[in-house]
């Protein structure tokens, strides 16, 4: 199988953590992708031009990260990172959606700085995205998932915290210090988190 992503994508990191945790990483070739390059085959592999994209052994292409994680869970026998009990599954999926939403907004803040001239930065729009990040972090701090359970929700939550640590859209460690021990506990439960750190 082939997983195409950038080494810095938090959504690609989700897939790499899941594949490693599930013991599938040796079956996957991780190849670079560049979403902003129109010559990159990413736009043919996923019409949305977004990463990650996973190509299965039979040639089918799977995206986005939520679907890739479900696919990886299935390949690992099921019920590993996606609970089979409906109530637990629903809670885990909602947790993943919250963390993914934090990452989406955090990435849009980065893109505003990277792709628009500084004199065109729109502060109300940036504040709107930062508000999503802050409310999402407050929601995580108020009701954190069990950090010792490695599932799609905790993987996404850890990736969101890691991405903000790296890109520094806000200082969650000061604003939500309870999440520091949460992330430490997840790192202990899931060594793949530290193994997939983005470059310094």
Q: Which is nearest to 130 in space by CA: 87, 103, 169?
A: 169
**152-167 vs 10-21: helix axis angle to the nearest 10?**
140
Q: What is the pLDDT along the chain (200 residues), one digit of tens a residue?
A: 999 999 999 999 999 999 999 999 999 999 999 999 999 999 999 999 999 999 999 999 999 999 999 999 999 999 999 999 999 999 999 999 999 999 999 999 998 887 788 888 889 999 999 999 999 999 999 999 999 999 999 999 999 999 999 999 999 999 999 999 999 999 999 999 999 998 87
Is 19 contained in some domain?
A: yes
Cα 8 from Cα 10, distance rounded (Å): 6
Domain limits at 185?
86-193
Asked which of 15, 46, 75 is the last residue of a domain, the reply is 75
Same domain, 159 and 63: no
Q: What is the pTM of this model?
A: 0.96
Is 161 contained in some domain?
A: yes
Same domain, 55 and 114: no
pLDDT at 114: 79
pLDDT at 200: 76
User: Could you give the dihedral angle defined by the CA atoms of residues 189, 160, 101 and 88, in that order, rounded to the nearest 10 degrees?
Assistant: 10
Q: Going by C-beta distance under 8 Å and a sequence separation of 6 or more, which residues neighbour residue 186?
A: 147, 148, 150, 154, 157, 158, 193
Query: By the 8 A CB rule, do 190 and 21 touch?
Result: yes
Q: Count of domains in the chain?
A: 2
Same domain, 57 and 91: no
Same domain, 146 and 99: yes
Same domain, 55 and 18: yes
Is 46 contained in some domain?
A: yes
Is 81 contained in some domain?
A: no
Q: Which is nearest to 21 in space by CA: 84, 101, 90, 75?
A: 75
């Amino acid at each position: 199988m082939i997983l195409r992503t950038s080494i810095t994508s938090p959504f690609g990191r989700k897939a790499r953590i899941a594949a490693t945790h599930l013991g599938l990483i040796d079956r996957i070739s991780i190849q670079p992708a560049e979403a902003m390059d129109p010559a990159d085959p990413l736009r043919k592999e996923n019409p949305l031009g977004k990463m990650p994209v996973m190509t299965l052994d039979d040639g089918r292409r799977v995206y986005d990260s939520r679907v890739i994680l479900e696919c990886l869970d299935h390949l690992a026998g099921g019920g590993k990172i996606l609970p089979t009990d409906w109530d637990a599954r629903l809670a885990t999926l909602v947790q993943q959606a919250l963390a993914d939403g934090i990452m989406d907004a955090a990435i849009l803040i980065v893109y505003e700085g990277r792709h628009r001239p500084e004199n065109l930065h729109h502060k109300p729009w940036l504040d709107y995205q930062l508000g999503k990040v802050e409310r999402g972090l407050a929601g995580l701090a108020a009701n954190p998932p069990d950090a010792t359970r490695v599932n799609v929700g905790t993987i996404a939550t850890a990736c969101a915290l890691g991405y903000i640590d790296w890109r520094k859209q806000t200082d969650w460690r000061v604003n939500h210090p309870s999440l520091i021990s949460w992330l430490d506990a997840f790192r202990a439960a899931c060594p793949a988190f530290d193994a997939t750190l983005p470059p310094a």
